[in-house]
């Protein structure tokens, strides 16, 4: 089986790398077409040396392609046809609806190659929001696809109930499929159980960008502390417009707020998880949120936002979901986590469902049903 992955974010996320490496073990001949941006050239060379799949990069995208979407697709398709024989693939996997799906649609029109297309948060929060002029294209991509993939139930519901998509919901729903992302085998092989403690140590792991709401979380913890609820917060992360603000708040509220920067070593991060009791990431725009699963694997109940990330993934209670990212809502749900700590059913999670090896087998089975 010969599969072409059109992957707009191949080097921006480990998710794609993990999936493709595990598909390799199943004897799928894979080619990755990657739209190249200037800040990824050095990284691309390293990948081409070490990765088992064939990686074909486009010519360098121009800055104006960020705005002129149709010109970008025309440019990329010309590149793809120059570098690859479009007739040489059995199936195409487009990893985003708009940017990758538009190329998959053209390949199907020209070569009748079936494709699956994934919908991600960017498709909803950027393209549907700011580019409604592309909705007709999106409808064609969805209509011609063999399957539409979502990596969480929350994302699927958010997409199908979007005002621009809702009229097509009944037609689309039968071809929609949720396939979760996986987590690194380290977390599956080194799980911890929920602790028998008086829970007061809260942990945040993530970049310090606005939509992840680290500053609101800090203020929520400070409000709880001022109201007599004993708790403290550790922030792990860096990179983002709010980094200086987080450092400032941590500096003026130590030891209630502790900022320790980024941690990349998994063993060190595991020790940090194990020294805390609750994981809180009230983040908007989460496609899936692997970090929630990492925290759950270490026995930490979680705080997350309604209709975001892993909301709906489990049919039993593993934490508290906030109906909004307001400071008061975060505070209320943190207090619930502290009071109800022993009631969360983290031990019922079957983490083998989040093994990349098993997820790759799900994709292989899907490919075979289409061909």
- Is the pLDDT reported for residue 290 higher than 80? yes
Task: State pLDDT tens for residues 300-309.
Answer: 999 999 998 8
Mean pLDDT of 79-92: 97
Q: Where are the domains of the chain?
A: 2-182+355-370, 185-352
Looking at residue 14, what is its pLDDT? 86
Alpha-carbon distance of 322 to 303, in angstroms, equals 7
- Residue 252, pLDDT > 80, answer yes
Each residue's pLDDT tens digit, 321-367:
999 999 999 999 999 999 999 999 999 999 999 999 999 999 999 99
- CATH number for domain 185-352, candidates 3.40.50.2000, 3.30.70.3280, 1.10.1200.10, 3.40.50.2300: 3.40.50.2000
Q: Distance between CA 46 and CA 213 in Å, rounded?
A: 34
Q: Which two tokens stand for residue 20?
A: 């493709």
Residue 207 structure tokens = 């970049």
- pLDDT of residue 288 exceeding 90: no
CATH number for 2-182+355-370 (one of 3.40.50.740, 3.60.15.10, 3.40.50.2000, 3.40.50.261): it is 3.40.50.2000
Structure confidence at residue 163 as a pLDDT band (50, 70, 90): very high
**Residue-averaged pLDDT of the chain:** 95
Residue 277 contacts residue 341 (beta carbons within 8 Å)? yes
Q: From CA 104, how far away is CA 309, in angstroms rounded?
A: 26
- Say whether pLDDT at 41 is over 90: no
More confident residue, 106 or 238: 106
**Cα pseudo-dihedral 239, 245, 246, 249, rounded to 10:** 170
Say if residue 161's pLDDT is above 90. Answer: yes
Q: Is the pLDDT of residue 26 over 90?
A: yes
For residue range 168-214, list pLDDT tens digits in order: 999 999 999 999 999 999 999 999 998 889 999 999 999 999 999 99
Measured CA to CA, the distance from residue 182 to residue 151 in angstroms comes to: 10
pLDDT at site 53: 87
Q: What band does 224 get if pLDDT is binned at 50, 70 and 90?
A: very high
Residue 188 host element (H or E): helix 185-189
The average pLDDT across 26-38 equals: 92
324 three-state secondary structure: coil
pTM higher than the cut 0.95? no
Residue 140: pLDDT band by 50, 70, 90 thresholds?
very high
Q: In which band, very low, low, confident or very high, does the pLDDT at 111 lie, cut at 50, 70 and 90?
A: very high
Angle at CA of residue 48, ends 42 and 51, nearest 5°: 125
pLDDT digits (tens, 9 = 90+) for 45-81: 777 777 788 999 999 999 999 999 999 999 999 999 9
pLDDT digits (tens, 9 = 90+) for 147-159: 999 999 999 999 9
User: How far apart are alpha carbons 155 and 115 in whole angstroms?
Assistant: 20
Q: Sheet holding 54-57: strands in order across?
A: 54-57, 29-34, 2-6, 91-94, 115-118, 147-150, 176-178
pLDDT at 42 over 90: no
Helices 290-297 and 266-274: angle between axes, nearest 10 degrees: 60
């Amino acid at each position: 089986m010969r599969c072409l992955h059109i992957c707009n974010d191949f080097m921006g996320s480990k998710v794609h790398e993990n999936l493709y490496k595990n598909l390799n073990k199943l004897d799928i001949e894979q080619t990755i077409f990657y739209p190249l941006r200037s800040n990824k050239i050095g990284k691309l060379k390293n990948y081409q040396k070490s990765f088992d799949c064939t990686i074909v990069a486009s010519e360098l995208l121009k800055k104006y392609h960020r705005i002129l979407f149709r010109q970008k697709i025309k440019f990329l398709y010309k590149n793809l046809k120059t570098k690859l024989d479009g007739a040489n693939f059995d199936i195409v996997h487009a990893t985003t609806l708009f940017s990758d799906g538009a190329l998959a649609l053209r390949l199907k029109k020209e070569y009748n190659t079936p494709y699956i297309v994934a919908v991600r948060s960017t498709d909803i929060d950027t393209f549907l929001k700011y580019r409604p002029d592309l909705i007709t294209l999106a409808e064609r991509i969805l209509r011609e696809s063999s399957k539409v993939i979502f990596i969480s139930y929350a994302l699927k519901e958010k997409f199908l109930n979007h005002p621009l998509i809702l009229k097509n919901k009944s037609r689309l729903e039968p071809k929609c499929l949720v396939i979760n992302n996986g987590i690194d085998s380290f977390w599956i092989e080194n799980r911890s159980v929920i602790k028998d403690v008086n829970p007061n140590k809260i942990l945040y792991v993530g970049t310090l960008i606005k939509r992840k709401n680290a500053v609101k979380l800090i203020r929520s913890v400070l409000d709880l502390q001022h109201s007599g609820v004993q708790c403290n917060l550790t922030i792990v992360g860096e990179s983002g417009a709010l980094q200086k603000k987080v450092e400032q708040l941590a500096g003026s509220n130590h030891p209630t707020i502790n900022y320790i920067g980024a941690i990349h070593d998994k063993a060190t991060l595991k020790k940090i998880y194990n020294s805390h009791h609750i994981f809180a990431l009230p983040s908007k725009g989460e496609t899936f949120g692997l970090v929630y699963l990492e925290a759950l694997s270490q026995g930490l109940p979680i705080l997350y936002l309604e209709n975001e990330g892993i909301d709906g993934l489990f049919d039993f209670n593993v934490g508290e979901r906030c109906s909004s990212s307001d400071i008061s809502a975060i505070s209320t749900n943190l207090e619930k986590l502290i009071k109800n700590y022993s009631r969360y059913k983290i031990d019922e999670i079957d983490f083998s469902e989040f093994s990349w090896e098993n997820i790759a087998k799900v994709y292989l089975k899907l490919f075979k049903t289409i061909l």
